[in-house]
């Protein structure tokens, strides 16, 4: 006899985050098939792909979810969430992990998030809103301390935030965003924010709007070069848990940020069934919100899934159903996970695609190593590079050094023309003064 409840789960997206989710969900006793749309060669190892479905195609996704009679849809990326895919699935009577368009605005509009934070007195850096370049530049000309932070209001795929060191630089960024519209409609309005000094951490919670299930913290390495140098990327590597983050600060995060956010969503009448990701700066005065995301982080999810020891599907379903209060706290692997992202030469600028990748199997033969694919595609039996961030090699160990050793042992086995990665993932904390210079 099979398990009593046996269902199909549909995962939307095709990155490393979705491979990690597919890997974890496919281990559930409650699931007999994981379907990924469109998926990648990694998710294909965990189930079946629907390669022709685009994440923006909500009509097609609703149709596929019905035709396959899936028990749950998990939406990975922010774009379909902001387009209201979760609303459309729910209207069709399908269970879904992911907020509707109203909740997704927390990520889709930095202004929306900032206004909500201020209305509910949740700590975040001081800020001003501008819908005209001239007014923004006047304000920046009178700024008293540098750097400052200029953010495009809308979704910009990680390219909408500029830390500017001088008035001149700030004004040129304002022109690029607002006059030249280099980020399209994302730059119709901007937020100018005070620069916060501290240590950054990513906090993920699953929430149904009533209850939160806190996930272990993750540290992401955003800049492309060792020692946090060079331009920002989508994320070059992760480490979890975060050794320097004390229990006291975790309690502050819950009490000053997460619980007030839940309250804010409730009183504003915003239903939320999915993942709420708080990007935080831990400053001398405590945690400050940098931003919210309305979905799992990438590559944070790769580390979270490796350390999440409980079956994740009951949590995803309870989030969708609004019954998270019935769930016990999940069990976590007490070991450290380090995930190293391997990139294509040139990333985050122009890079080449279509390089054959060798050695994924040998990397996974290393004890405690799992490789999650992101920018890859199949060509016959070969796996080719098909993105800037190509894959993440995750290693586990009893401490950061052991986890790093495992991950980098795996990295050594993988080869393609132009592959590179950072060599210092997991090595933190950096000093506060180094951060201020960045």
Ligand X SMILES: Nc1ncnc2c1ncn2[C@@H]1O[C@H](COP(=O)(O)OP(=O)(O)O)[C@@H](O)[C@H]1O
Q: Which is nearer to Mg ion, 175 or 291 (CB)?
A: 291
Shortest distance in whole angstroms from residue 303 CB to Mg ion: 16
Size of the site for Mg ion (CB under 5 A): 1
How far apart are the C-alpha atoms of 190 and 207, rounded to whole Å? 29
Residue 31: which of ligand X, Mg ion, none does it interact with, CB under 5 to 8 A by kind?
Answer: none
What one-character-per-residue DSSP string does 51-80 give? TT--TT-HHHHHHHHHHTT-SEEEE-SHHH
Say if CB 212 and CB 206 are below 8 A apart.
Answer: yes
Residue 60 binding Mg ion, by CB under 5 A: no
- Which of the stretches 276-284, 345-353, 411-419, 428-436 binds Mg ion when contact is defined by CB under 5 A? 276-284
Q: Give me the torsion for CA of 238, 239, 245, 251, rounded to 10°.
A: 80
Residues within the interface to ligand X (CB under 6 A): 125, 149, 158, 160-161, 163, 193, 195-196, 200, 222, 279, 290-291
| Nearest C-alpha neighbor of 321 from the set 71, 52, 39, 44 | 71
| Nearest C-alpha neighbor of 318 from the set 335, 426, 264, 310 | 310
Shortest distance in whole angstroms from residue 161 CB to ligand X: 4
Q: Give me the torsion for CA of 168, 283, 256, 262, rounded to 10°.
A: 50
- Which of the stretches 203-211, 255-263, 274-282, 391-399 binds Mg ion when contact is defined by CB under 5 A? 274-282
Widest CA span of the chain, in angstroms?
A: 72
Shortest distance in whole angstroms from residue 338 CB to ligand X: 19
- Residue of the chain from 279, 286, 359, 418 that contacts Mg ion (CB under 5 A): 279
Q: Which is nearer to ligand X, 304 or 312 (CB)?
A: 304
How far apart are the C-alpha atoms of 335 and 397, rounded to whole Å? 6
Q: Which is nearer to Mg ion, 279 or 359 (CB)?
A: 279
Name, in order, each residue with C-beta under 8 angstroms of 98's C-beta and a sequence gap of 6 or more: 73, 74, 75, 81, 85, 86, 104, 273, 274, 275, 294, 295
- Which of the stretches 272-280, 296-304, 335-343, 371-379 binds Mg ion when contact is defined by CB under 5 A? 272-280
Q: Are strands 336-343 and 389-397 parallel, antiparallel or unpaired?
A: antiparallel
Say if CB 17 and CB 44 are below 8 A apart.
Answer: no
Q: Which is nearer to ligand X, 216 or 220 (CB)?
A: 220
Q: Which is nearer to ligand X, 199 or 385 (CB)?
A: 199
- Which of the stretches 104-112, 114-122, 231-239, 271-279 binds Mg ion when contact is defined by CB under 5 A? 271-279
- State which residue has the least CB distance to Mg ion: 279
Residue 200: which of ligand X, Mg ion, none does it interact with, CB under 5 to 8 A by kind?
Answer: ligand X
Q: Which is nearer to Mg ion, 57 or 78 (CB)?
A: 78
Shortest distance in whole angstroms from residue 228 CB to ligand X: 9
Q: Which is nearer to ligand X, 60 or 125 (CB)?
A: 125
* Cis peptide bond upstream of 429, omega within 30: yes
Residue 161: which of ligand X, Mg ion, none does it interact with, CB under 5 to 8 A by kind?
Answer: ligand X
Helices (H), 340-431: 360-365, 400-413
Shortest distance in whole angstroms from residue 163 CB to ligand X: 6
Q: Which is nearer to ligand X, 125 or 322 (CB)?
A: 125
Where along the sequence are the contacts to Mg ion (CB under 5 A)? 279
């Amino acid at each position: 006899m099979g398990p009593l409840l046996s269902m199909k789960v549909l995962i939307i997206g095709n990155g490393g985050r979705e491979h990690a989710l597919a890997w974890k969900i496919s281990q559930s006793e409650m699931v007999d098939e994981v379907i990924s749309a469109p998926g990648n060669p990694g998710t294909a190892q965990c189930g079946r792909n629907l390669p022709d479905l685009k994440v923006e195609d909500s009509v097609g996704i609703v149709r596929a979810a019905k035709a396959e009679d899936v028990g749950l849809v998990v939406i990975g990326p922010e774009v379909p969430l902001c387009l209201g895919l979760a609303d459309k699935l729910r209207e069709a009577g399908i269970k879904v992990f992911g907020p509707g368009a109203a909740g997704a605005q927390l990520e889709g509009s930095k202004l929306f998030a900032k206004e909500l934070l201020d209305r509910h007195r949740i700590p975040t850096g001081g800020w001003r809103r501008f819908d005209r370049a001239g007014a923004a530049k006047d304000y920046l000309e009178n700024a008293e301390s540098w750097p400052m932070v200029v953010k495009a209001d809308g979704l910009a795929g990680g390219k909408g935030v500029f830390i500017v060191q001088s008035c001149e630089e700030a004004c040129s960024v304002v022109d690029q965003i607002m006059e030249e519209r280099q980020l399209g409609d994302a730059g119709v309005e901007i937020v100018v924010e005070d620069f916060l000094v501290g240590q950054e951490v990513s906090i993920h919670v699953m929430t149904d709007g009533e209850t939160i299930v806190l996930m272990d913290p993750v540290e992401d390495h955003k800049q492309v070069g060792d020692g946090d140098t060079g331009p920002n990327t989508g994320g070059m590597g992760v480490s979890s848990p975060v050794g320097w983050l004390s229990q006291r600060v975790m309690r502050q995060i819950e009490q000053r940020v997460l619980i007030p956010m839940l309250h804010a969503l409730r009183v504003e009448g915003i239903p939320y069934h999915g993942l709420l990701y708080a990007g935080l700066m831990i400053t001398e005065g405590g945690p400050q919100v940098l931003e919210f995301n309305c979905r799992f982080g990438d590559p944070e999810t790769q580390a979270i899934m490796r350390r999440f020891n409980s079956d994740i599907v009951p949590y995803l379903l309870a989030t969708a159903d609004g019954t998270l209060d019935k769930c016990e706290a999940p069990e976590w692997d007490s070991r450290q996970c380090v995930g190293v992202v391997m990139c294509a030469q040139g990333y985050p600028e122009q890079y080449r695609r279509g390089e054959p990748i060798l050695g994924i199997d040998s990397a996974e033969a290393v004890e405690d190593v799992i490789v999650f694919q992101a920018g890859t595609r199949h060509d016959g039996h070969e796996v080719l590079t098909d993105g800037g961030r190509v894959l993440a090699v995750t290693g586990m160990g009893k401490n950061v050094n052991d986890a790093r050793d495992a991950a980098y042992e795996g990295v050594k086995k993988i080869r393609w023309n132009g592959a590179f990665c950072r060599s210092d993932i997991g090595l933190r904390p950096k000093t506060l003064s180094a951060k201020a210079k960045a």
